[in-house]
Amino acid sequence: MTTLSRILTILRQHRGTLRERFKVGEVGVFGSFVRGDTHSGSDVDILVEFTEPVSLLRLVSLENYLSDILGIPADVVPREDIRIELRDRIEREAVFI
């Protein structure tokens, strides 16, 4: 089973591609993998901050890329799209690379 440590290692290995191809400035993991309450069908929640505006197509491409390199479904959440009532909890919980 995939672990938080493995996810962070893979994200670090692909940091250059994330910056150059997808315009990702910051990337972190939050949700069940950070809390340690994953199950066999868990996806990984990825918090990103982009360095420039990105299209929906680029966001979907990033989600597909991350799902491929991590080997599990990835749910990409742009930092600016976090609902205000969830922002503090997610920001505290997130583990950034």
What are the structural domains of the chain? 4-96 (3.30.460.10)
Residue 56 identity: L
Q: Is the pLDDT of residue 1 over 80?
A: no
Is the whole-model pTM more than 0.75?
Answer: yes
Q: What is the three-state SS of 34-57? A: HHCCCCCCCCEEEEEEECCCCCHH
Q: What is the pLDDT of residues 2-56, one digit of tens each?
A: 999 999 999 999 999 999 999 999 999 999 999 999 998 899 999 999 999 999 9
Determine the pLDDT at residue 74. 98
